[in-house]
Protein backbone atom coordinates (compact mmCIF):
# COMPACT_ATOMS: atom_id res chain seq x y z
CA UNK A 1 0.00 0.00 0.00
CA UNK A 2 1.30 3.43 -0.95
CA UNK A 3 2.46 5.30 2.20
CA UNK A 4 0.45 8.39 1.20
CA UNK A 5 -2.81 6.44 1.15
CA UNK A 6 -1.84 4.50 4.24
CA UNK A 7 -1.48 7.82 6.07
CA UNK A 8 -4.90 8.94 4.77
CA UNK A 9 -6.50 5.81 6.24
CA UNK A 10 -4.61 6.12 9.53
CA UNK A 11 -5.58 9.79 9.85
CA UNK A 12 -9.30 8.86 9.65
CA UNK A 13 -8.65 6.04 12.13
CA UNK A 14 -6.84 8.27 14.63
CA UNK A 15 -9.18 11.25 14.21
CA UNK A 16 -12.48 9.84 12.94
CA UNK A 17 -15.16 12.16 11.65
CA UNK A 18 -18.71 11.70 12.95
CA UNK A 19 -17.70 9.22 15.67
CA UNK A 20 -20.12 9.14 18.55
CA UNK A 21 -23.78 8.61 19.13
CA UNK A 22 -26.64 10.77 17.92
CA UNK A 23 -29.19 11.35 20.64
CA UNK A 24 -31.90 12.31 18.15
CA UNK A 25 -31.80 9.66 15.43
CA UNK A 26 -34.33 8.03 13.12
CA UNK A 27 -32.47 4.79 12.45
CA UNK A 28 -29.91 2.81 14.42
CA UNK A 29 -28.35 -0.20 12.76
CA UNK A 30 -25.51 -2.51 13.73
CA UNK A 31 -23.17 -4.34 11.40
CA UNK A 32 -20.53 -6.91 12.30
CA UNK A 33 -17.74 -8.48 10.31
CA UNK A 34 -17.83 -11.97 11.78
CA UNK A 35 -14.58 -12.97 10.11
CA UNK A 36 -12.50 -10.58 12.20
CA UNK A 37 -14.82 -9.05 14.81
CA UNK A 38 -15.13 -5.52 13.45
CA UNK A 39 -18.24 -3.92 14.96
CA UNK A 40 -20.10 -0.85 13.73
CA UNK A 41 -23.31 0.87 14.79
CA UNK A 42 -24.68 3.65 12.59
CA UNK A 43 -27.09 6.37 13.69
CA UNK A 44 -29.00 8.16 10.92
CA UNK A 45 -31.09 11.33 11.05
CA UNK A 46 -33.22 12.14 7.98
CA UNK A 47 -34.73 15.51 7.18
CA UNK A 48 -35.53 18.09 4.58
CA UNK A 49 -32.61 19.74 2.79
CA UNK A 50 -31.56 23.25 3.71
CA UNK A 51 -33.44 25.95 1.86
CA UNK A 52 -31.67 26.96 -1.32
CA UNK A 53 -29.68 23.74 -1.53
CA UNK A 54 -29.15 21.83 -4.74
CA UNK A 55 -31.48 19.11 -3.44
CA UNK A 56 -34.95 20.42 -4.26
CA UNK A 57 -37.26 17.83 -2.76
CA UNK A 58 -37.24 14.71 -0.72
CA UNK A 59 -35.43 13.89 2.45
CA UNK A 60 -31.69 13.82 2.84
CA UNK A 61 -29.35 12.38 5.41
CA UNK A 62 -29.09 15.34 7.75
CA UNK A 63 -26.73 13.71 10.21
CA UNK A 64 -24.86 10.46 10.67
CA UNK A 65 -22.70 9.11 13.45
CA UNK A 66 -21.07 5.81 14.26
CA UNK A 67 -19.76 3.85 17.18
CA UNK A 68 -17.76 0.68 17.13
CA UNK A 69 -14.40 -0.92 17.18
CA UNK A 70 -12.18 -2.79 14.80
CA UNK A 71 -9.24 -2.44 12.51
CA UNK A 72 -8.04 0.79 10.92
CA UNK A 73 -9.61 -0.16 7.58
CA UNK A 74 -13.14 -0.66 8.94
CA UNK A 75 -13.14 2.31 11.28
CA UNK A 76 -11.56 4.75 8.82
CA UNK A 77 -14.06 3.56 6.21
CA UNK A 78 -16.92 4.51 8.51
CA UNK A 79 -15.37 7.95 8.97
CA UNK A 80 -14.86 8.54 5.25
CA UNK A 81 -18.27 7.19 4.26
CA UNK A 82 -20.06 9.29 6.87
CA UNK A 83 -18.46 12.42 5.41
CA UNK A 84 -19.44 11.41 1.88
CA UNK A 85 -23.11 10.53 2.41
CA UNK A 86 -24.14 13.38 4.67
CA UNK A 87 -26.64 15.43 2.67
CA UNK A 88 -27.39 12.65 0.18
CA UNK A 89 -30.83 11.18 -0.54
CA UNK A 90 -31.64 7.53 0.06
CA UNK A 91 -31.72 7.03 -3.70
CA UNK A 92 -28.19 8.42 -4.09
CA UNK A 93 -26.92 6.26 -1.25
CA UNK A 94 -28.52 3.14 -2.74
CA UNK A 95 -26.45 3.50 -5.93
CA UNK A 96 -23.18 4.01 -4.02
CA UNK A 97 -21.12 0.94 -4.96
CA UNK A 98 -18.09 -0.85 -3.51
CA UNK A 99 -15.95 0.82 -6.21
CA UNK A 100 -17.07 4.20 -4.83
CA UNK A 101 -16.08 3.06 -1.35
CA UNK A 102 -12.65 2.00 -2.58
CA UNK A 103 -12.28 5.43 -4.20
CA UNK A 104 -12.69 6.98 -0.74
CA UNK A 105 -9.76 4.92 0.51
CA UNK A 106 -7.74 6.05 -2.48
CA UNK A 107 -5.92 2.77 -2.82
CA UNK A 108 -6.42 -0.89 -3.55
CA UNK A 109 -7.58 -2.94 -0.61
CA UNK A 110 -6.47 -6.56 -0.58
CA UNK A 111 -9.15 -9.23 -0.99
CA UNK A 112 -8.42 -10.42 2.54
CA UNK A 113 -9.49 -7.00 3.88
CA UNK A 114 -12.53 -6.54 1.61
CA UNK A 115 -15.07 -7.28 4.37
CA UNK A 116 -13.36 -4.74 6.61
CA UNK A 117 -13.31 -2.13 3.87
CA UNK A 118 -16.99 -2.57 2.98
CA UNK A 119 -18.47 -2.97 6.48
CA UNK A 120 -19.65 0.65 6.70
CA UNK A 121 -21.21 0.55 3.23
CA UNK A 122 -23.02 -2.74 3.84
CA UNK A 123 -24.27 -1.54 7.24
CA UNK A 124 -25.52 1.73 5.74
CA UNK A 125 -27.35 -0.03 2.91
CA UNK A 126 -28.97 -2.44 5.39
CA UNK A 127 -30.05 0.57 7.48
CA UNK A 128 -31.82 2.11 4.47
CA UNK A 129 -34.36 -0.71 4.63
CA UNK A 130 -35.41 0.28 8.13
Note the pTM of the prediction, 2 decimals: 0.89
pLDDT confidence of 89, banded at 50, 70, 90? Answer: very high
Residue 19 carries which DSSP code? B
Write down the pLDDT at residue 41.
Answer: 98
In angstroms, the CA 30 to CA 39 distance is 8
Write down the pLDDT at residue 37.
Answer: 93
Residue 50 carries which DSSP code? P
Write down the pLDDT at residue 8.
Answer: 87
Average pLDDT, the chain: 91
**CATH tag, 3-128:** 3.90.1010.10
In angstroms, the CA 108 to CA 129 distance is 29
pLDDT digits 0-9 by tens, 21-72: 999 999 999 999 999 899 999 999 999 887 655 555 568 999 999 999 999 9
Torsion angles phi and psi, residue 35, rounded to 5: -70, -25
In angstroms, the CA 114 to CA 119 distance is 8
In angstroms, the CA 124 to CA 127 distance is 5
Amino acid sequence: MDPLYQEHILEHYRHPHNRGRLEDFDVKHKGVNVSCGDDLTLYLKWGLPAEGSAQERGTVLKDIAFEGFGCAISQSGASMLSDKVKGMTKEAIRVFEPADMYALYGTTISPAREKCALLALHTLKEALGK
